[in-house]
């Protein structure tokens, strides 16, 4: 499989099923695909071992905005992009690292439990890196669509009905308390960022918690939106190997409706509004570079009020939601995501030693 440059139709169908239900039991996955659960699990192990696709759990913006997500453009000293990207990829708060061409050398997605932790990282760590010339951070105000909602293929309705049966339903945006990120819950969240399909029994064994306690904590994390289970695939083998970021402006009074409309465009993998100009960010996966302008024309025809301000084309993805990738986009390692605890050394702490 590693030598192949094209996913088979069976592989694409299985990946598509796991995108709809990342934690759906293998019996249901098999039923949806018309095969046994054992066969589905065996195929997935082959795909996962090749690094072509993987299941993880990414931090989400909870309904009370208790978690912060920032998109950061970084400029480096000449010839230092790969070195800086490799260093940043080791940081737990930096969930995605992409080397880009355009007005920035590197594009980062950074997640943190709160604004204070995000500010500390940006000012005291990213801002202190010798090879970083400058950075521009924009904090998400709302994310309308993201990688957990992107689909490799469209599955027929009968398959979707089977897959949706066991998919966790988000809690309504009212009442109830948020998930308390105790040390036990943090450990579970970290394990799910490594393997989003880890069973309750596996998680219990790894944490010395009871399966009942694990089930309760995991259900809370998923239903609250604190964690978003997702199935990712190597862009280079997805049929849409060109990744582009577009910064756009739109009138503030219609910004939510505009973002929702853009989110419905199939190629768009991410659409978020941000706290500073330009007011909107989108990321699309395309078949060719030529499609960049075709996408812009499609947006302009549907939404003439949208003005594209800037664009970045991804040259190489070094890390995507915790997964370390090789130059062909395959997963070759993982840095567990931990946005609830600052594991980096504070400069003032170093000065005391």
pLDDT reading at 184 higher than 60: yes
Mean pLDDT of all residues belonging to the chain: 91
Peptide linkage before 237 cis (omega within 30 of 0) = no
pLDDT tens readout for residues 87-97: 999 999 999 99
The answer for residues whose C-beta is within 8 angstroms of residue 197's C-beta and 6 or more apart is: 22, 23, 55
pLDDT confidence of residue 173: 45
The residue-averaged pLDDT of 189-199 equals 95
pLDDT reading at 191 higher than 50: yes
pLDDT confidence of residue 172: 47
* Closest to 238 in 3D by CA, of 50, 57, 53: 53
pLDDT tens readout for residues 310-341: 999 999 999 999 999 999 999 999 999 999 88
Upper half-sphere CA count for residue 123 (Cβ side, 13 Å): 8
The residue-averaged pLDDT of 22-31 equals 96
As a whole-number percent, the residues of the chain with pLDDT over 70 amount to 90
Do residues 144 and 123 lie in contact, with contact meaning Cβ atoms separated by under 8 Å? no
Does residue 353 or residue 42 have the better pLDDT?
42
Residue 97 tokens read as 């690292």
Do residues 264 and 218 lie in contact, with contact meaning Cβ atoms separated by under 8 Å? no
Q: Would you report the helix, strand and coil content of the chain in percent, each value rounded to 5?
A: 40, 25, 35
pLDDT reading at 345 higher than 80: no
End-to-end CA distance of the chain, in Å? 51
Residue 256 tokens read as 């939510």
pLDDT reading at 100 higher than 80: yes
CA distance 227 to 168: 11
* Residue 168's pLDDT band (cuts 50, 70, 90): low
CA distance 278 to 340: 28
Q: What is the largest CA-CA distance in the chain?
A: 63
* Residue 347's pLDDT band (cuts 50, 70, 90): low
Burial 13-43 (b: 16+ CB within 10 A, else e): bbbbbbbbbbbbbbebbbbbbebeeebbbeb
pLDDT confidence of residue 180: 86
CA distance 17 to 29: 7
Residue 276 tokens read as 């500073």
Angle subtended at Cα 199 by Cα 218 and Cα 163, rounded to the nearest 5 degrees: 85
pLDDT tens readout for residues 250-295: 999 999 999 999 999 999 999 999 998 999 999 999 999 999 999 9
* Residue 327 burial (CB count, 10 A): 10
210 three-state secondary structure: coil
CA distance 266 to 284: 9
């Amino acid at each position: 499989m590693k030598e192949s440059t094209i996913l088979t139709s069976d592989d694409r169908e299985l990946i598509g099923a796991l995108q709809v239900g990342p934690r759906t039991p293998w019996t249901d996955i098999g039923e949806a695909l018309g095969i046994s659960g054992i066969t589905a699990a065996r195929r997935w192990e082959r795909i996962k071992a090749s690094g072509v696709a993987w299941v993880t759990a990414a931090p989400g913006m909870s309904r009370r905005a208790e978690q912060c997500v920032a998109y950061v453009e970084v400029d480096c000293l000449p010839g230092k992009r790969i070195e800086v990207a490799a260093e940043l990829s080791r940081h737990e708060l930096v969930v995605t690292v992409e080397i880009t061409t355009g007005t920035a050398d590197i594009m980062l997605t950074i997640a943190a439990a709160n604004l204070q932790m995000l500010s500390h990282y940006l000012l005291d760590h990213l801002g202190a890196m010798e090879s970083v010339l400058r950075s521009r951070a924009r904090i998400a105000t709302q994310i309308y669509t993201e990688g957990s909602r992107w689909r490799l293929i469209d599955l027929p309705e009968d398959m979707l009905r089977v897959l949706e049966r066991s998919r966790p339903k988000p809690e309504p945006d009212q009442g109830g308390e948020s998930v308390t990120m105790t040390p036990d819950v943090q450990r579970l969240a970290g394990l799910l960022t490594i393997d989003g399909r880890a069973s309750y029994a596996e998680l219990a064994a790894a944490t010395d918690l009871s399966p009942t306690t694990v089930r309760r904590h995991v259900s809370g994390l998923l239903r609250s939106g604190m964690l978003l289970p997702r199935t990712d695939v190597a862009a280079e083998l997805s049929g849409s190997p060109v990744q582009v970021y577009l910064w756009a402006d739109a009138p503030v009074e219609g910004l939510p409706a505009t973002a929702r409309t853009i989110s419905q465009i199939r190629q768009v993998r991410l659409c978020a509004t941000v706290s500073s100009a330009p007011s909107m960010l989108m990321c699309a996966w395309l078949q060719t570079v030529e499609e960049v302008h075709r996408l812009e024309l499609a947006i302009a025809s549907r939404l003439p009020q949208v003005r594209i301000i800037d664009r970045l084309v991804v040259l190489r993805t070094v890390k995507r939601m915790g997964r370390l990738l090789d130059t062909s986009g395959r997963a070759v390692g993982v840095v567990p995501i931990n946005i609830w605890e600052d594991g980096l050394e504070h400069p003032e702490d170093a000065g005391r030693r």
